Structure 1
Amino acid sequence: MTLYRLAAYHDLGSDHGPLHARAVADTGRRYLADLPLPPYQSFPSASFRAALAGEAAEAGEQDVAIRDPRERPTARSSFAWQRLCADLDTWQQLDLTRQLAVSTVLARLGFWSVLAALPLPGRTSVHDGLRLAQRLCAARRLVLGDTPEVTDRLRGLLRTQAEDDDLPPPLRLGAAVGLVVEHARSDVSLVAMAQWHSAARALVARAPSGTYSKILLSVYWRGVSFVPFHQGDHDRVREMLDTSERLARAALRAAGPQRRLLAEENLRLVLMTRARTAQARGDREETEGRLRAVVRADPEDPVSQVRLADFLVLVGRLHEARDHYQRAADLGAPCTVYAREQIANCRVGRLTDAPATP
């Protein structure tokens, strides 16, 4: 089941499975055709390919258990995969735009070690150079850990993008929101979060109508909701997320075939954020409703099933939790081992507190 659902992660083209796998396939098709790559928001974790490789090895598919795309035999590789390998072999000869595209594909596939080993661009004063340097720094932090040197470089790159009047407003807004989220998830500096919230708000306020897509504005409201969340202002968080969800649903209604998957991914992320914030303020009814909405939005994603199951454990509904852990186990990586362990624990009644979701 894993190999079928996540086939895009080893062929860059199979258009089925959960939202993130279909985003990989979409990225692969556009990459092969030299088209602009869509700004999908979700990337695999640092451990994702290891989980995928473990299940592939059990199924006798050794070609999936690779640490570098160039380890896959050419005879079993798609045209998009072969193009990726060729671009990696000639990395230094590629222009910045192509290097950025290659880095996006590597990140989408979860080849973080390969990405982290690539040299940082010498020119970071241009649009693509800034984005490429940011992606390589993010990869190095995932692989090497959150060192002060890498974190300072990453934040510096985001600051440069947010403050450069010559850059496109959507890139500047994305960088400012990225800094809010960066500080919210690392040092929890309320001063820094407020500073970049103010910068992002100013970029939105002074931009002409139509400058930003509904998806980006949805991302903006979801990102800056970290500020009142860390201030304990749950009413303000709810207001911001109401706006984020309204924009996400409007974007989905208006999306044509080329942007529908982007809109679906964004709505799923909004719903998951709403579930977390509802749980943080102790609203169990809303938490469950949001988690079930996430499952409906992406039924082939085992992580969504596990998160709902973990919540059901928390509220003592072990029988229902076991059903969702079973669904996650059936769907496969990256939750298979964890889900099977939780099924066994549910059967013997060992779970009394919410476990840690993988």
Structure 2
Amino acid sequence: MSTSLGLARVPDGRSPREPGDRYDLWLLGPYFGLHEPADCSLHTSSVPRAYEELDTALPPTPFQLHPPRGLRLAVADQTGRPELAAARPGDLPAEYWTDRWGHVAELTGRASTLTQEARLRLGVLHCALGMDAAAQGVLPDLQPEEATASPIAAAIAMKLTHVRKRLHTDAASVRRDREVLAAVATAARIPARSALGAATTLVVLHARGTRPDVAAVRHWRRLAEERLARLDGADWRDRLAVSTFWRAVSYLPFLQGDHARTAAELDLAEEAARSMPAATEQEDLVRRQNLHPLLETRTRAALARGTADAALGYAREAAELDPHDGKVHITLGDVLARAGDRAQARASYLRAVALGAPYAPKAQNLLAGSLEAEGDHEAAMYAYLRVLDLDRGAYSACAAAHRLAGQLGTKDVMDWAASWRAAARERAEAGQTR
């Protein structure tokens, strides 16, 4: 029996090796049925692993990548399949269900009867699926004083406040998330690696945004250093902790404009990352997932320092490491474009377009912009129109196509673009009225 995604339902919930009716939905199959395609991005690979680890006898994986924000909505919109935006496992139409999906829906319905450990594992899976509302529903709602009662309580509290912050994005949710992280980072009874993770997260949170708090970054860096000193290095996850520590705290010299110190600290992060073991599937996944954001950080830092060749090297490695993630090909295209190699940049954007949702519209828009910058306005105009085939909300692409059509005197495109924009305004007004 075949689902609407073109993925065959088989007893163990695995998909066949041949592609379904859409290449991108085959790659993203784990998000919409817990399939295991032959190939997928590193963030997608968290899903089947998190499903396996519903078995609390298995050691939990410290996942380093999460689904892009709004993934399910973006895929649903870009593929014209609104049902894929399901917020909870039980909301997905039955024709998509595999045995695995049915198992998760059943567990979700009786989450309150499970142990704290089992509820945490189920919440981790929901987060991996991009179902934050479902994660919020299955995680125990601990009282503030319970957050540091035990390692499992700390993990639950941090996961829950993170999920609520992603869902609500209000000041109270942001504040509560930081309060829980601070409590875990400073708690005496919490294992050093968990406390270190909370402290480094606080470093990053205070360093990002339009108004970084350098004093707070410095404070939490000092505390993270104290927690780091408590690790004995006996566990392979300590190498991961060392790598993520140096990647996080390198924000401080970066914010201070010390690019040489930033590079030196990222060297330490990279040394730890490349020394991580890969003897088991779990270790190999974590090693590769950790390298992904590290290479992204190294790319950005190298560009800020003005070392374009180094930036290009890191961007190329990221694309090789995670070839089925459209985002890394977009980054590589951007670095190539900055280096003046527009032809190779367009090749990278085209690869991202071919990988489909959710990054195809952005990649196609960048491709069109590259053609326009080269002076090929007719090709750019039609490339912008192609963006609208991929994303019906791409207003800027429509405006660009209309502008170029005016320059070229292409009346049919001008008329169509004008009607599209009028229809888009009517849809927006109707939505606001509802």
Partner of 1:178: 201
Partner of 1:92: 112
CA contact (8 A) 2:329 2:349 kept: yes
For residues 97 and 258 of structure 1, what CA distance do their matches in structure 2 show? 19
CA contact (8 A) 1:13 1:28 kept: no
CA contact (8 A) 2:332 2:345 kept: yes
Partner of 1:102: 122
Equivalenced residues, count: 346
1:282 aligns with 2:306: yes
For residues 277 and 26 of structure 1, what CA distance do their matches in structure 2 show? 31
Q: Aligned AA for 1:49?
A: R
For residues 189 and 374 of structure 2, what CA distance do their matches in structure 1 show? 58
Give the SS at the match of 2:178. helix
CA contact (8 A) 2:298 2:314 kept: yes
Q: Which residues in structure 2 correspond to 1:187-202 (within 5 Å)?
A: 187-202=211-226
Distance verdict in 2 for CA 1:96–1:177, change over 3 Å: same
1:121 aligns with 2:142: yes
For residues 344 and 232 of structure 1, what CA distance do their matches in structure 2 show? 34
Partner of 2:255: 230
1:17 is matched with which residue: 37, 40, 59?
Answer: 40
1:306 shift after superposition? 0.6
Partner of 1:306: 330
For residues 279 and 294 of structure 2, what CA distance do their matches in structure 1 show? 17
Deviation per residue, 1:292-324 (Å, 9 max, x gap): 111111111110001111222333332221111
CA contact (8 A) 2:295 2:314 kept: yes
Deviation per residue, 1:69-99 (Å, 9 max, x gap): 1112456423332232222212322222122
Q: Which piece of structure 1 moves more, 205-214 or 93-102?
A: 205-214
Q: Aligned AA for 1:120?
A: D
Deviation per residue, 1:129-165 (Å, 9 max, x gap): 22222222222222222x3311221111111111112
Q: Aligned AA for 1:226?
A: Y
For residues 175 and 372 of structure 2, what CA distance do their matches in structure 1 show? 48
Q: Which runs of 5+ in 1 are unaligned?
A: 352-358
1:38 shift after superposition? 0.6
TM-score, length of structure 1 as denominator length:
0.89
What is the RMSD computed on CA atoms of the aligned residues? Answer: 2.2
Q: Aligned AA for 1:3?
A: L
Q: Aligned AA for 1:265?
A: Q
Distance verdict in 2 for CA 1:89–1:65, change over 3 Å: same
Larger Rg: 2
Q: Which piece of structure 1 moves more, 282-291 or 8-17?
A: 8-17
CA contact (8 A) 1:56 1:65 kept: no
For residues 33 and 2 of structure 1, what CA distance do their matches in structure 2 show? 32
Distance verdict in 2 for CA 1:210–1:271, change over 3 Å: same
1:347 is matched with which residue: 371, 374, 386?
Answer: 371
Give the SS at the match of 2:44. helix
For residues 177 and 124 of structure 2, what CA distance do their matches in structure 1 show? 17
CA contact (8 A) 2:123 2:136 kept: no
For residues 238 and 348 of structure 1, what CA distance do their matches in structure 2 show? 35
Give the SS at the match of 1:151. helix
Name which structure has the greater RCO, CA cutoff 8 Å, separation 6+. 1
For residues 258 and 332 of structure 1, what CA distance do their matches in structure 2 show? 28
CA contact (8 A) 1:31 1:80 kept: no
Distance verdict in 2 for CA 1:345–1:235, change over 3 Å: closer
For residues 98 and 158 of structure 2, what CA distance do their matches in structure 1 show? 29
CA contact (8 A) 1:18 1:301 kept: yes
For residues 100 and 212 of structure 2, what CA distance do their matches in structure 1 show? 41
1:68 shift after superposition? 1.9
Partner of 2:428: none
CA contact (8 A) 1:309 1:321 kept: yes
Give the SS at the match of 1:103. helix
CA contact (8 A) 1:271 1:293 kept: yes
2:65 is matched with which residue: 34, 42, 49?
Answer: 42
Identity %: 28
TM-score, length of structure 2 as denominator length:
0.74
Give the SS at the match of 2:276. helix
CA contact (8 A) 2:150 2:189 kept: no
Distance verdict in 2 for CA 1:288–1:83, change over 3 Å: same
CA contact (8 A) 1:181 1:223 kept: yes
CA contact (8 A) 2:54 2:118 kept: no
Q: Which residues in structure 2 correspond to 1:312-351 (within 5 Å)?
A: 312-349=336-373
Distance verdict in 2 for CA 1:190–1:65, change over 3 Å: closer
Q: Which runs of 5+ in 2 are unaligned?
A: 1-22, 376-434
Give the SS at the match of 1:251. coil
For residues 96 and 132 of structure 1, what CA distance do their matches in structure 2 show? 8
1:264 is matched with which residue: 282, 285, 288?
Answer: 288
1:55 shift after superposition? 3.8
CA contact (8 A) 1:2 1:52 kept: no
1:132 aligns with 2:159: no
1:273 shift after superposition? 0.8
Give the SS at the match of 2:119. helix
